[in-house]
Amino acid sequence: MASGLRAGGERETLKGANDAARAAELREQLHYHNHRYHVLDAPELADTEYDALFDELAALEARHPELATPDSPTQRVGAAPLEKFNTVTHDVAMLSLDKCTTITELADWVERCRGRLMEDEVVRFVCEPKIDGVAVALTYTHGRLTLAATRGDGQTGEDITANVRTIGAVPLVLNDDVHPVPPRVEVRGEIYMSAADFEAFNERARARGGKTLVNPRNGAAGSLRQLDPRLTAKRPLTMYCYSIGWIEGGDWQPKTHAEALQRLTHWGLRVNPRSEQAADVAACERYINALRDRRDALGYDIDGVVVKVDSLDQQRLLGALTRTLRWAIAYKYPAEEATTRLLGVEFQVGRTGAITPVARLDPVFVGGVTVSNATLHNMDEVGRLGIRVGDTVVVRRAGDVIPQVMAVVEGKRPRKATRVGLPATCPACGSAIEYAGDEAVARCSAGPAVCPAQRKEGLRHFASRLAMDIEGLGDKLVEQLVEHEHVSTAADLYRLDREVLVGLERMGEKSADNLLSALEASKTTTLSRFIYALGIREVGEATAANLAGHFGELSALVSASVEELEQVDDVGPVVAGHVHAYFASVHNRAVVDDLCELGVHWPALPTSASARPLAGQTWVLTGTLQSMSRQEAKERLAGLGAKVAGSVSKNTHQVVAGPRAGTKLEKAQRLDIAVMDESELLALLRAHGALD
């Protein structure tokens, strides 16, 4: 009996040891794959494989709570809600940066730095993007994250450790495989929200009637100040580290800022790959100008460039003023946000009948241009903002994004501010306004046959560059053609004659001849362009290309059932319903038939698997192509079955890179994705008969 108990105990001990070893192994694997995914952007596992490892570790820790360590990946969102944030005193103050807006001011700062150092001493610099996020300090003790604090007033901040632990890009344990990690080290960086994640979050919020974020920076700041870490975990936050605050113990001290950044990378921390060393003011200027030119393509908000003295000995000699560092400066770009007054709200009617409220603003300079109009999306958004005519509002314009009203400055609301209400009828045709299903968008109940606004917008879309590409058919000309009743449908464009065109305002004989030539040239197109040009709801370029590639011919698409449409890549029930409803309309079918009878045509597309050798593959185009436009290359690849995406991901099969390729090429190289140049693309297209 005793020997049986002893044998059972040994088995339990052995099993417990095996469980502990397996838990340690799983933690190590998950830390490794987290680093590959969040820091290197080069995952090695599919999401399902990662989830299986995570679930196995979670199950082990549930059976044996003593195996759950503070740095376990399962503990990222394990903290209970806080009652308040505790105050943290920074061992080394997190000071602000002085600012400049011209190269002359930057050169003056460089001269001030040189004046405080030894005569003829060489001063070099590091330039890095100034991310518009939230500055934080991370303390690692024996390689494990033990404290995360906000900058606060520079001297004291708040303990946000529980929230920062939820961010996948912040390692819970540093990697000491290459270089030992000091007993204690403080790392500083910026927590932010990418532009794509910000827009996606707001789209989801609008769809469910939730509160939208004002901008990525406010979104990041608000996320970090949630008392419940589980709410922070739902926000798409990430981080770039930009310096070492201090080191305690160990036998290594960096000599330059660039060396410190490199060591952070070795430890597994995420460092901005766009940080560069610069020898002088001229090199700094080149960096500033180049980054400004690519600002819109970075994928995250920046408000300038930080220029730092590279030598850490020189940094210590230069020191600091009361609130700012002497050895670093921020070169500021024009702001992408500004405040102005809302003068009124007008309602525009789109090609699908959508009624969009548009803010008329007191003109304000923002994002490099003067803005007097901004979208308010829909009436749900007007309600969420609580906006009134007369309010002071925050306007945002980032890159080529349409200016948007992001928030109301309620403290500046005048007494006579008036509420914004949806009109009872369509402002263009007087038809009733209705809501369809759960949509937040109000729509004109009439179609383009009745509503002139829908006709105009539909014709503009039909003639646009990515659709039929009818050069010379601008907005003002469309206005005249509709108002004078020369054109009712897209097919009527191909019935226009020289006499009618010459009789229009600002339309001479040469312009009329050029437009007629452009109309004739546009008759030769592609099936994907034609489908896109029809203006079917929810059918963009990519969906049109997928529909064309799947069905191969227009007649098959026109007669397709909803179930058949749902078999097309990226076409769900909603889009399938819109496509089916479009072709079920007698009016729409008549217009399509009319266009074909008037000579609009395209080459036949192959539908067999052998004729679509790139089916199932995702391709990405970047840079400038010399022999064809990017759109033409996209259409030829789509004709061979490829899906052409706008961004590189782990699912990308091939990248085509021309001159001036940027971040997409860099990401492809990091992910070890195959890259070909234009000559290789042309050879591939010829080999498959997709190039004349």
What does the DSSP assignment read for 149-174? EE-TTSSEEEB-HHHHTT-TTS-SB-
CA atoms within 13 A of residue 20's CA, in its CB half-sphere:
8
655 and 673 Cβ atoms separated by less than 8 Å: yes
145 and 173 Cβ atoms separated by less than 8 Å: yes
CA atoms within 13 A of residue 417's CA, in its CB half-sphere:
20
93-103 mean pLDDT: 90
Question: Can you read off the two tokens belonging to residue 563?
Answer: 């179930």
Question: Can you read off the two tokens belonging to residue 393?
Answer: 């509002």
Give me the residues paired with residue 144 across strands.
141, 173
- Asked if residue 209 has pLDDT above 80, the reply is no
- Asked if residue 46 has pLDDT above 70, the reply is no
Q: Give the pTM.
A: 0.58
| pLDDT tier, 406 (very low <50, low <70, confident <90, very high otherwise) | confident
How confident is the model at residue 666, as a pLDDT?
79
Q: What is the largest CA-CA distance in the chain?
A: 111
How confident is the model at residue 40, as a pLDDT?
64
How confident is the model at residue 43, as a pLDDT?
67
| pLDDT tier, 183 (very low <50, low <70, confident <90, very high otherwise) | very high
What is the four-CA torsion angle of 71, 74, 79, 80, rounded to 10 degrees?
-160
Question: Can you read off the two tokens belonging to residue 250?
Answer: 């160990």
How confident is the model at residue 6, as a pLDDT?
45
pLDDT tens digits, residue range 589-601?
999 999 999 999 9
Write down the catalytic residue from 130, 456, 634, 643.
130
| Residues above pLDDT 90, as percent of the chain | 50
**Amino acid at site 627:** S
Decide if 130 is catalytic: yes
C-alpha distances out from residue 540 to 377, 460, 570, Å:
19, 15, 11
| Residues above pLDDT 70, as percent of the chain | 93
Question: Can you read off the two tokens belonging to residue 208?
Answer: 């469910």
Burial class (CB in 10 A: 0-12, 13-18, 19+), 417: middle
How confident is the model at residue 5, as a pLDDT?
39
pLDDT tens digits, residue range 114-159?
999 988 889 999 999 999 899 999 999 999 999 999 998 889 999 9
Question: Can you read off the two tokens belonging to residue 599?
Answer: 């000579």
Q: Is the dihedral of CA 22, 23, 24, 26 positive or negative?
A: positive
Q: How far apart are the first and last CA of the chain?
A: 87
pLDDT tens digits, residue range 418-466?
999 999 899 999 999 988 766 778 899 998 889 999 999 999 999 998 8
C-alpha distances out from residue 302 to 144, 307, 337, 396, 512, Å:
30, 14, 12, 14, 46
Domains and CATH numbers, the chain: 15-75 (1.10.287.610), 96-332 (3.30.470.30), 338-435 (2.40.50.140), 452-522 (1.10.150.20), 527-597 (1.10.150.20), 618-687 (3.40.50.10190)
Q: How many CB atoms lie within 10 A of CB 26?
A: 22
Most confident range (mean pLDDT) of 52-56, 74-78, 134-138, 194-198 is 134-138
Which residues touch 657 (CB under 8 Å, ≥6 apart)? 622, 623, 664, 665, 668, 675, 676, 677
C-alpha distances out from residue 294 to 171, 288, 289, 304, 414, Å:
29, 10, 9, 12, 40
| CA angle, residues 538, 540, 541, in degrees to nearest 5 | 165
How confident is the model at residue 185, as a pLDDT?
96
| pLDDT tier, 1 (very low <50, low <70, confident <90, very high otherwise) | very low
